[in-house]
Structure 1
Amino acid sequence: MSIFGAIGSFIMTPLYYLISIVLVGAHKLWTAIGLDPAGGAAWALAIVTLTLCIRAALIPLFVKQIKASRNMQLLQPQVKELQKKYGHDREKLTQETMKLYKDAGTNPFASCLPILLQMPIFLALFRLLNKASHGAGHGILSDAQATQFGHAELFGVRISQTFNGAHGDRGIQIMALTLVIAMLVTTFTTQRQLMSKNMPKSALEGPYAQQQKILLYVLPVVFAVGGVAFPIGVLIYWTVSNLWTMCQQFYVIRNNPVPGTPAAEAKAKRDAHKAARHGGVATSTATAVEEQTAPEQAGPGRQQPKKQTRAQRTKNRPQGDQK
């Protein structure tokens, strides 16, 4: 075994066991609530559960990714100035750019961490399910469970099959294409959402913006081309993971947008509308209180005469009237 093979085995073997533990445990959980252990629904939901567990574990890295991406966007005007100043000297430009990132406390590679960490997990799941489709267990997934997975059907389609290996089976092709399209749409929507709502105008120009625009169209195509070779179970994992990313990013952009972006302007309008609505309620309340207290605060009107005794009335009567 080569040194690269040894390194790969050292990294992947723990992942096989980790993924198989979650997958088998989730399958037992869904079986315990009444699903058929040999059915595709139990295995598909086990894959969904595995996906949610992995993405939940990566939330801290996603937060770092968001912060790194935000800092990168905010630093783009300064990067452009460095490009104008040191455009003739690539080495000096690289040094000054990295110094700028260091002084700002950001790392351009931090935005890639979630993707880089997910790739080994994705590859481990792909190999695990690919072997299971041939009845070979891996990790704690036994051969019997692998055989069961290989024959499990969802809507009459084996989730271990691929589009390329459908051999004309329309059901497999339709389900695989549906998931590939869903994967493509969610990938494009997520990237488009980031560029259109959470990037300032200054960040939409220059090399960094060009890279983002290229990825916007290239990544979905790459996923679509590669997706036809993936088992349906892997496509389920990928699609659910993309949906998680899209919803998570939507929440972050809506509630904590980058300053100077359309998302920040929209949030400012929502906050202003909310404040005005709350202020209107307070004003109406104050007005009502004032109206209720107005009679008490009004100036003195016609006073009622005080009640007098008969002796007092006789005393105060004019003398001509006293008879």
Structure 2
Amino acid sequence: MTQFLSSIIGKILEFIYATVSKIGTEPKSISYFAISLIILTLIYKLAMLPVTLSNAKMTKVNAELQPAMKKLEKKYKHDPQLYQQKVMELQKEMGFSPFASCLPMIVQLIIIWALFPVMRAPMEYTGLSETIATNFFWIPDLTAKDPTIILPFLMAGSQMLYSVLLTPSAKKSDDGQADPMQSMNFMMKYGMPIMFFFFARSYQAGLALYWTTGNIIEIAIRMVLKVVNKEEEVVEEVPKKKKTSSKEKISEGQASKKKKANKKKGA
């Protein structure tokens, strides 16, 4: 399976390289191979956009579920089995799918696993000449490790920023105990970026470039979605405000009429 995916990725990379190389003279600072790898990442992210949007929706639904789940936890704290049943019913009612939330990461790991052999032996999978340049700014060869810690640091930093945007802030429950879900979120925010840093230090720089580029694209998508969601919330709140203001005007009018009537009676 991995071999098959590696072959497909290799052929796509070869096609992108052939297209990019027709542009003109290759820049000295960044090779066509590096540009092709960045374009490959962009194509993958665009192809995965429906899944990303679905994941963003699941994240929002999950955030809305948390208060209700805490209430269920208090109500059924002496019956864990019934609590789990009620949680599943609530998730089904809200349209939340834990698998849908994990799907982008699963696909990402499969792709990165398939990229391993392509980065290790790009000429074998892409059919490109061994004489092509594979540099990326300070990195002389993307098929080898980054001689510095710059790209691993960028990979870990972008992963941390993406995780912060993706997961809610850690909070404590009313009884002062930490929520297990928040503990997992903390691990995603800070534990995984550290793991990715050492991963990027140990393997080909091309893999780190792919992952970092993907993170930057994901961050951009998430920020756009955040702005769009805020605008939608504002649009939803405006009619409510108008309705309440009209009700207030009616009540104020009725109150003033009553005052006038009372004054007349008093006179």
Q: Distance in 1 between matches of 2:166 and 2:199?
A: 24
Q: What TM-score comes out, normalization by structure 2 length?
A: 0.77
Q: Where do 1:1-323 residues align within 5 Å?
A: 11-36=1-26, 41-132=31-122, 137-138=124-125, 141-142=126-127, 145=128, 147-148=130-131, 152-155=134-137, 157-162=140-145, 172-174=146-148, 177-195=149-167, 206-257=179-230
Letter in 2 for 1:207: P
Q: 1:243 to 1:160 in 2, by over 3 A?
A: same
Q: What TM-score comes out, normalization by structure 1 length?
A: 0.64
Name structure 1 gaps, 5 residues minimum. Answer: 1-10, 163-171, 273-323
Aligned identity (percent) is: 24
1:147 deviates by 2.8
1:192-250 C-alpha deviation (Å, 9 max, x unpaired): 234468x9999xx7332232122111011110111111211111111100100111111
Q: Distance in 2 between matches of 1:15 and 1:35?
A: 31
1:67-96 C-alpha deviation (Å, 9 max, x unpaired): 111111101111112212223333322222
Aligned 8 A contact 1:39 1:152 in 2? no
Q: Distance in 1 between matches of 2:143 and 2:225?
A: 35
Name structure 2 gaps, 5 residues minimum. Answer: 239-267
1:50-78 C-alpha deviation (Å, 9 max, x unpaired): 00000000000011101111111101111
Q: 1:236 to 1:62 in 2, by over 3 A?
A: same
1:117-149 C-alpha deviation (Å, 9 max, x unpaired): 1111111112211133xx5x13xx22xx26345
Aligned 8 A contact 2:143 2:206 in 1? yes
Aligned 8 A contact 2:59 2:166 in 1? no
Letter in 1 for 2:63: Q
Aligned 8 A contact 1:38 1:148 in 2? no
Q: Distance in 2 between matches of 1:191 and 1:128?
A: 27
Q: 1:20 to 1:29 in 2, by over 3 A?
A: same
Q: Distance in 2 between matches of 1:239 and 1:106?
A: 29
1:45 deviates by 0.3
Q: Distance in 2 between matches of 1:213 and 1:220?
A: 11
Aligned 8 A contact 2:168 2:185 in 1? no
Aligned 8 A contact 1:27 1:37 in 2? no
Letter in 1 for 2:143: S
The DSSP-based 3-state class of the residue aligned with 1:161 is coil
Cα RMSD (Å): 3.0
Higher relative CO (CA 8 A, sep ≥ 6), structure 1 or 2?
2
Q: 1:125 to 1:92 in 2, by over 3 A?
A: same
Aligned 8 A contact 2:171 2:182 in 1? no
Q: Distance in 2 between matches of 1:258 and 1:111?
A: 24
Q: Distance in 2 between matches of 1:126 and 1:245?
A: 21
Aligned 8 A contact 1:35 1:41 in 2? no
Q: Distance in 2 between matches of 1:93 and 1:83?
A: 6
